[in-house]
Structure 1
């Protein structure tokens, strides 16, 4: 009587690889399922109400992330995550028509505390009247160029250079100077003091240019003496930071992070 065939080494290897592949697929599916069951951000109404979120945070199951949102403990804050949190606070109907800017953008980049109200920029080419009733937001009608906006976490955000320029020009010194220091201190933001000074000097017909330079002088008095600098090649940038970057031949952020 013939004895049963013994599995070859090749067959055993194939079986092992097949089993490992199935195990890996199962683990990936489990991780994907966990990610779907436990999203990174929780806001009132999806799937928990505000008091339930507060209770979960009190029990240590969630951590307070921003004014109206929570996240799982241990998840590091990142610009992408902050942008997603800000996007959740912007009405869906206008989310693709506005740009998070000024101190809201500074918070997204990790250079300022979360502001009480979202600062949203609206390009002057768009109609602003239909957005006037937006709650919890401050709208600013501005002129934006292609280099002034990036896509981050599902939200359009003013680029680091445009953010620094707007903060220097339009935000009071108590909040502006720390935020500018944070933006200038982070090399990944690609905001250089020399470029920012040039951008301010090159901005036409803005009444706050002198005050903006004085804010920068608080950070680098030797570089910005008496809040004024000489511009060798003055420009008249109709599209904001874009033309300043082109004149100075500085590559700047314009893609999704």
Structure 2
């Protein structure tokens, strides 16, 4: 039997949307398609973008709940191209919504959180936590082994608009939550590689009411005091 040929131009190929799972695997084995996601394929010459990864993640979320959840944490970091794809989707559910009806959603982990108006962006048919919110959540809730490379990726990409000073301020501004000190210690490990001036002094953390100059002093990085 001849290998089926994909039609022209669709960027994303998923099981059931033109081809079955075995057919997609055959196309990938023959070099016709390239696999970039657990159940997502594209043509080999297509650049895999954040939009495309978001579309692939959206296909993995049941349509009935897609507009009620937000891809976050390491799933959002993968969408932004700053981490490997996690085994399970991390989905955020705003605390104002009822989460009980979503408990049976398969292949994902649900996290009930409070989301602000600037914490969510829409891309590829899916709501995704903003880069800054993603960085805050990863610093607070993800173990250092996985968190550090993802945070470094988000901080190193100017287009994501995540700054070390803003990240520290955002973490300090969160209510009393566990792991806040551990989150600052993760940033302390990243600081020498990201900015000149040495490691973060986490022995003296700052309060949410402190100004940017105080945060810069905690970071031990003089040039962070410049821009508001």
TM-score (norm 1): 0.75
Match of 2:88 in 1: 117
Give the CA deviation at 1:109. 0.4
Is 1:61 aligned to 2:21, yes or no?
no
Match of 2:12 in 1: 41
- SS of equivalent to 1:150: strand
Alpha carbons 1:213, 1:227 under 8 Å: kept: no
Match of 2:209 in 1: 233
User: Which residue of 156, 162, 181 maps to 1:185?
Assistant: 156
Give the CA deviation at 1:171. 0.1
Q: Gaps (5+ residues) in structure 2?
A: 1-5, 193-197, 212-226
Matches within 5 A, 1:129-140: 129-140=100-111
Rate the CA distance shift 1:128–1:135 in 2: closer, same or farther, 3 A: same
Rate the CA distance shift 1:189–1:51 in 2: closer, same or farther, 3 A: same
Alpha carbons 2:169, 2:208 under 8 Å: kept: no
Q: Gaps (5+ residues) in structure 1?
A: 1-34, 236-248, 251-257
Rate the CA distance shift 1:228–1:49 in 2: closer, same or farther, 3 A: farther
Give the CA deviation at 1:214. 0.5
Cα deviation, 1:93-144, whole Å, max 9, x if unaligned, reads 0000000000000000000000000000000000100000000010000000
- SS of equivalent to 2:10: coil
User: Which residue of 195, 204, 207 maps to 2:175?
Assistant: 204
Match of 1:72 in 2: 43
- SS of equivalent to 1:46: coil
How many Å separate the matches in 2 of 1:229 and 1:80? Answer: 37
Match of 1:103 in 2: 74
Q: Which has the larger radius of gyration?
A: 1
User: Which residue of 45, 65, 87 maps to 1:94?
Assistant: 65
How many Å separate the matches in 2 of 1:228 and 1:187? Answer: 28
- Which structure would you say has the larger RCO, counting Cα contacts within 8 Å and 6 or more residues apart? 1
TM-score (norm 2): 0.84
Runs of 4 or more off by more than 6 Å in structure 1? none
Alpha carbons 1:213, 1:228 under 8 Å: kept: no
- SS of equivalent to 2:110: strand
Give the CA deviation at 1:232. 7.1
Report how many aligned residue pairs link the two structures: 203
Match of 1:145 in 2: 116
Give the CA deviation at 1:227. 5.7
Cα deviation, 1:175-202, whole Å, max 9, x if unaligned, reads 0011000000000001000010111111
Alpha carbons 1:202, 1:234 under 8 Å: kept: no
- SS of equivalent to 1:119: strand
